Amino acid sequence: MLSVREIDVYIQASHILRRVSLEVGAREVVCLVGRNGAGKTTTLRTIMGYLRPRTGRVELQGRPIHGRPTHEIARLGLGWAPEDSGIFPDLTVAENIEISTWTRPEGRPAAERIERAYRVFPGLRRYAARKGPEMSGGERKMLSIARALALDPEMLVLDEPFEGLSPAIIPAVSEGIAEITKLGHSILIAESNIHHVPEYTRRLYVIERGEIIFAGPPEDAWRDPALTRIIGSAA
Ligand SMILES: Nc1ncnc2c1ncn2[C@@H]1O[C@H](COP(=O)(O)OP(=O)(O)OP(=O)(O)O)[C@@H](O)[C@H]1O
Ligand SMILES: [Mg+2]
């Protein structure tokens, strides 16, 4: 599905990512875990086309996508929910979701996509007429994921979907994400808190100072004391 191969990314003169590689298969949930400043957002922004790798490749279903503009990457099937939610504050919840059906006209009919977005996060239905500033941070996070889903993408890319959420709301977001995988989409999640990695995560990557230092099942990461010193302290 998605393959990131040995990308090196610079921001101005700073070498931020070093030979980062990761894979996300069909219907897989993959987590990229690392401390603050480790390079998670830079990795996701490179996948989404906001940054261009100096070397290496990003492929979606075998097609190279690195260097393409973000709107093209979205149309090719990557739905994006950024760290700050990035919802349009002047639009209502319903309009925020609907706009994805125009951004990527290919895929299921618009009405079906909108219905799926609300089915995953039923709480949003009640707020359909509200605008961004009238919502809590947690509601905005859910809307951001719902909007990415309404694109009907092959894969969703979620940057810290649990960040800043109260413990009471985390299960609703986690269940929503699980529901999305049941609908057949792949998901790549960046997370700085290892305790937030959902139990249905198939594969985990740990990034530290711009380098992938672990790739494997989450259970194996927990068995490695050197690793738990790093990601355990990210909690
Ligand atoms: N626009 C920028 N200019 C210069 N340096 C940047 C810029 N954006 C990010 N960096 C640097 O790149 C490194 C990786 O940042 P990144 O945002 O990818 O980390 P992160 O893992 O997402 O962290 P967080 O958990 O805080 O979101 C950090 O050292 C950061 O200071
Ligand atoms: Mg980040």
Nearest ligand (C-alpha, residue 192): 1
For residues 21, 49, 158, 181, the Cα torsion angle rounded to the nearest 10 degrees is -80
What residue's CA is closest to ligand 1, atom 24? 36
Q: Quick one: what percent of the chain has pLDDT higher than 90?
A: 67
How far is the CA of 231 from the CAs of 30, 139, 214, 218, in angstroms?
A: 16, 27, 11, 11
List of domains in the chain = 2-234 (3.40.50.300)
- Ligand 1 neighbours (beta carbon < 6 A): 11, 14, 16, 34, 36-42, 83, 192
Tell me the mean pLDDT in the region 92-112. Answer: 89
Q: What is the pLDDT of residues 103-112, one digit of tens each?
A: 887 788 999 9
**93 contacts 44 by C-beta, under 8 angstroms:** no
Q: What is the pLDDT of residues 143-198, one digit of tens each?
A: 999 999 999 999 999 999 998 888 888 888 999 999 999 999 999 999 998 888 88
Helix (H) or strand (E) holding 9: strand 2-11
Q: What's the CA angle centered on 184, arms 98 and 214, to 5 degrees?
A: 110
Reference 161, options 176, 179, 183; nearest CA is 176
The pTM of the full predicted model, rounded to 2 decimals, is 0.94
C-alpha to C-alpha distance for 170 and 208, rounded to whole angstroms: 25
In sequence order, the 6+-apart residues with CB closer than 8 A to the CB of 98 are 110, 114, 150
